[in-house]
Structure 1
Amino acid sequence: MSKQQGDHYEALACRFLQQQGLTLVEQNWHCRHGELDLVMRDGRYWVFIEVRARQSARFGNAADSIGRAKQEKLLIAANLYLSSRRIDAPCRFDAVLFDGTEPARWLKNIFG
């Protein structure tokens, strides 16, 4: 998937989550260990959103693409984000998934 397509799905996910009441804090935060697609607030929670899109299920669906290695990178990046901003608050990891022409799926607390 191209960067342009990735940006498109991240924008769709962001709008979708804002309609659900979340507040955008940061988009595409980078560190040497990876990237956080969206950092949002849901009440008192800091929410780290992974956005995944698949045009077809030929190589698995969007959820299948968040494997153990990706999870570890997200955990490290989120810890760096929180510590660099001296944030001590509850957090969770969510995913917004786009599979083909299906509507967006929002999975909350994907590591819980």
Structure 2
Amino acid sequence: MDMRSNWKYKAMSTREVGTNYELLAEQFLQEKGMLPLARNQRIRYAEIDLILKDGEYLVFVEVKYRRNQNFSQILEQLRISQLERIKHAAKVWMTIEDIVEHQTSCRFDLVTITGEPFHIEWFKDAF
């Protein structure tokens, strides 16, 4: 029996797999100089995967993972309704955190993670 300790070999729920890729994306963005503020913020019918600070910008990040290297499939899977829910959740989160929207520069980024070994792509101001 193979007793590998690496998380990718364990049987995990979809949520656990998603969390691990979100952590990978967060680490990647930290290495790019961004400061993590929050993770997995659920607000009504939406979830914000990552919230970070990039200089003057408050950045809301959607993380997507696929096993293959086809970025178009990932980008095509982002529905306008999903993006609108994320934007609404960001406004609600800012209100909860007492952040004044019109005084704060915000950005919505996308991080895609594909394949093994991992290929990470960062789309600034993606939506």
TM-score normalized by the length of structure 2: 0.79
**Aligned residue number for residue 92 of structure 2:** 80
Quote the Cα distance in structure 2 between the aligned partners of 1:62 and 1:100.
Answer: 12
Match of 1:49 in 2: 61
Helix, strand or coil: the match of 1:66? Answer: coil
* One-letter identity of the residue aligned with 1:51: V
Q: Which residue of 1 aligns with 2:45?
A: 33
Mapped to 2, the partners of 1:7 and 1:52 lie a distance apart of: 11
Match of 2:6 in 1: none
Percent identity, please.
Answer: 32
Task: Identify the residue that residue 19 of structure 1 maps to in structure 2.
Answer: 31
SS in 1 for 2:89: helix
Q: 1:57 to 1:42 in 2, by over 3 A?
A: closer
The CA deviation at 1:57 is 6.7
Name the CA distance, whole Å, in 2 between partners of 1:21 and 1:63: 25
Aligned mates of 1:11, 1:85 — CA distance in 2: 22
TM-score, length basis structure 1: 0.89
SS at match of 2:73: coil
Structure 1 residue runs without a partner (length 5+): none
Offset at residue 3 of structure 1 (A): 1.0
> SS of the counterpart of 1:21?
coil
Unaligned 5+ segments in structure 2 are 1-12
Partner of 2:7: none
Partner Cα separation in structure 1 for residue 63 and residue 38 of structure 2: 14
How many corresponding residue pairs? 110
Structure with bigger gyration radius: 2
2: CA distance between counterparts of 1:84 and 1:4? 26
Cα deviation, residue 98, structure 1: 1.3
